[in-house]
A and B are shown apart, each in its own frame.
Chain A
Amino acid sequence: AQSVTQPDIHITVSEGASLELRCNYSYGATPYLFWYVQSPGQGLQLLLKYFSGDTLVQGIKGFEAEFKRSQSSFNLRKPSVHWSDAAEYFCAVGVYGGATNKLIFGTGTLLAVQP
């Protein structure tokens, strides 16, 4: 069965420090992978996506993610975190079944940023 695991429920980093949020997926075929961010009281915003090609993908707000097939991972990184990055981050895998396309989400990682 398809699934997404985000091992870290909550992470705290200092402003200016680097960040890595972990994501592991389980999917039988080549996955389509996504990272979304949810700021407090807001909807989900797409940060970046991986469909094929270069395994290092760049997104908005200075985020990047690397697809590693051998590790079934799609970790999100940022070299220097800003206070405005505090939010909930969701990794997701796109699932196809003919006409039934949907996203399966991980349980999210809550990022707190210390001044």
Chain B
Amino acid sequence: DTAVSQTPKYLVTQMGNDKSIKCEQNLGHDTMYWYKQDSKKFLKIMFSYNNKELIINETVPNRFSPKSPDKAHLNLHINSLELGDSAVYFCASSPRTSGSRSGANVLTFGAGSRLTVL
């Protein structure tokens, strides 16, 4: 069983379209994240959710809307896609976001979803 699974793995679409990427984790973790990896391989956090509650929103355009129906799922919806949105989007999860530091920051990543906007 894949610990953190993302779908789709590849997504090619036209500018202006709306698309979603889904993420599910079966690790029982409380916290989930979306990271964006640009064409230069730079990884930057976009959002984090803890038990369905938005914790981090790192100055991401409001065309990006994460949704967490339960703590095992964190989906990313993108409206009005632009060329600059082309990237690999990684979902990740970690045990918890507060309290003891020892487990909170060990992230488990999904395999990534490569989005290409034409």
Contact = CB atoms under 8 A, between A and B. Distances in A.
Nearest to B47: A102
A99 B55 contact: yes
A103 B45 contact: yes
A100 B42 CA distance: 21
Nearest to B56: A100
B78 interface: no
Contacts of B107: 44, 46, 103
Given A32-B105, A49-B106, A107-B40, A101 B112 contact: no
A98 B94 CA distance: 15
A44 B105 contact: no
A44 B98 contact: no
Interface string A21-55: 00000000000101010100111111001010000
B75 interface: no
Nearest to A93: B105
Contacts of B7: none
Contacts of B33: 102
A51 B104 CA distance: 11
B105 A101 contact: yes
A67 interface: no
30 contacts: A36-B109, A38-B41, A43-B90, A43-B109, A43-B111, A43-B112, A44-B90, A44-B109, A45-B109, A46-B106, A46-B107, A46-B108, A51-B101, A51-B102, A94-B104, A94-B105, A96-B105, A98-B98, A100-B48, A100-B55, A100-B56, A101-B94, A101-B104, A102-B45, A103-B45, A104-B45, A105-B42, A108-B41, A108-B42, A108-B43
Interface of A: 32, 34, 36, 38, 41-46, 49, 51, 88, 90, 94, 96, 98-105, 107-108, 110
Sorted nearest first, the 8 A-B pairs with minimum C-beta distance are A94-B105, A43-B109, A105-B43, A43-B111, A44-B109, A108-B41, A102-B45, A99-B98
Interface of B: 4, 31, 33, 40-45, 48, 50, 55-56, 90, 92, 94, 97-98, 101-102, 104-112
